[in-house]
Amino acid sequence: MNYLEEQTDGEAMINSIKNGDKPLPRVTQVSIAGTSSTEQPPLKDKSMWSDQEKRLQKIDHLARSLLIQGLLNDIYSLIDSNKTAKDLWDALARHMLGSEYGEQDRKAAVLYEYETFKATEGELLLDTYIRYLQVINDLKKCGYSKDNCELNFKFLNNLQLEWKQYEQELNGHQH
């Protein structure tokens, strides 16, 4: 949304994404006194649209277009049936965030990844550390927080045997 805020009509595009497209212009009909109609007036022919109506429709189309431009083809193909910027945004949010159950599954998977973390045989210490940092980052994104001391001991306790001597030295300095 930051990009849109900087654009001409950016606020209107954000409004289109959050609240939906403006209704298409309709022919204004005058009713005769004492009569009422439940029918929707017909849509205006595009050649009859005012400059303001054209501008509003252009903003709605531009908002959808800008959303599409930022998507990978694989993701777009999953949500391309949505015709408005709001519908596209909502579908994208559902796809990216998943359902409530998906969120619970994701949290459980991240916690499991942390609990079962171990260095793999032949893995470089730097690679193990980077992988561990990713797990910690995923934990934080899911709302879990761990004490730094706990994180450090978890890492050290799960290193390969060749690094265990350093863990023992650190434990000796703690006491």
Say yes or no: 34 and 11 in one domain: yes
Q: Are residues 138 and 85 in the same domain?
A: no
Same domain, 76 and 112: no
Are residues 82 and 119 located together in one domain of the fold? no
Residues 87 and 132 in one domain: no
Q: Are residues 25 and 90 located together in one domain of the fold?
A: yes
On whether both 12 and 91 belong to a single domain, the answer is yes
Indicate if 164 and 89 belong to the same structural domain: no
Name the domain count of the chain: 2
The C-alpha atoms of residue 69 and residue 115 are separated, in whole angstroms, by: 39
Q: For residues 21 and 91, state if they share a domain.
A: yes
pTM exceeds 0.75:
no
Q: What is the pLDDT of residue 97?
A: 73
Give the domain-ending residue among 58, 79, 97.
97
Intra-chain end-to-end CA distance of the chain, in Å: 52
Calpha distance 74→83 (Å, rounded): 18
Instruction: Indicate the average pLDDT of the chain.
Output: 81
Same domain, 7 and 86: yes
Q: Which of 62, 80, 97 is a domain's end point?
A: 97
Which of 51, 68, 97 is the endpoint of a domain?
Answer: 97
Query: Are 159 and 89 contained in the same domain?
Result: no
Whether residue 56 is found in the same domain as residue 81 = yes
pLDDT tens, position by position, 144-169: 999 999 999 899 888 877 776 666 66
The answer to which of 4-8, 92-96, 103-107, 112-116 has the lowest mean pLDDT is 4-8
Domain span at 83: 2-97
* Digit-coded pLDDT (tens) for 27-54: 776 666 656 666 777 777 788 878 888 8
Computed from CA positions of residues 69, 75, 77, 82, in that sequence, does the dihedral angle turn out positive or negative? negative
